[in-house]
Chain A
Amino acid sequence: MNVNLFLLIAFCIALLFILFLVTKLRRVRGQLSIIEEALEDIKTGNPNRRVLTRKSDMTKRICYAVNEIAVKNQSQLISQKQSEQAYKRLMTSLSHDVKTPLASLVGYLEAATTGLVAGDEKEAYLHVAVEKAYHLKNFVETLFEWVKLDAKEQIFHFEICDLNELTRNIVAEWVPTLERNHFEYDFDIPEDEYFLRIDLHSYTRILNNLLQNTLMHSGGNKLTLKLLENEQQVKIIISDNGKGISPSDIPHIFERMYQCDRSRSALGNGLGLSITQELVNAHNGKIKADSKPGTGTVFTVLFPKAL
Chain B
Amino acid sequence: MSDYVIETKRLTKNYGEQTAVNAVNVHVEKGRIYGLLGRNGAGKTTIMKMILGLTPITSGEVDVFGQNIKGREKRVYPRIGAIIETPGFYPNLTGTENLEIFARLRGTAAPNAVKNALDIVGLPYRDKKLFSKYSLGMKQRLGIANAILHDPELLILDEPTNGLDPIGIAEVRDFIKDLSTEHGKTILISSHILSEIALLADDIGIIDHGVLLEENSMETLKRKNSKYILLQVSDIPKTSLVLERQFGVTDYSVQDDHSLRIYNTSLDMAAVNKALVVQDVAVISSQLCNDTLEDYFKKITGGEGIA
Contact = CB atoms under 8 A, between A and B. Distances in A.
Interface of A: 34, 37, 46-55, 57, 63-64, 67-68, 74, 77-78
Q: Which range holds the interface residue count of chain B?
A: 20 to 34
Nearest to B185: A48
In this complex, the member of B75, B104, B108, B181 whose beta carbon has the largest number of chain A beta carbons within 10 angstroms is B108
Given A51-B109, A52-B106, A54-B108, 10 more contacts: A46-B153, A48-B184, A48-B185, A49-B79, A50-B79, A50-B153, A53-B109, A54-B104, A55-B104, A74-B183
16 contacts: A46-B153, A48-B153, A50-B79, A52-B107, A52-B108, A52-B109, A52-B150, A53-B108, A54-B103, A54-B104, A57-B107, A63-B107, A63-B109, A64-B109, A67-B110, A78-B183
A47 B151 contact: no
Interface in B96-133: 103-104, 106-111
Contacts, number: 50
B104 A52 contact: no
Contact of A47 (B79, B111, B181, B184): B184
B78 A52 contact: yes
Across the A-B interface, give the 7 residue pairs with the lowest CB-CB distance, nearest first. Answer: A52-B107, A50-B109, A48-B153, A67-B109, A54-B107, A53-B107, A50-B151
Interface of B: 75, 78-79, 103-104, 106-111, 150-153, 181-185
Contacts of B185: 48
A64 B116 CA distance: 15
Nearest to B31: A48
Contacts of A64: 109-111
B109 A34 contact: no
B72 to A, nearest CB: 11
A89 to B, nearest CB: 15
Contacts of B151: 50, 67
Contacts of A57: 107
A49 B79 CA distance: 7
Nearest to B149: A52
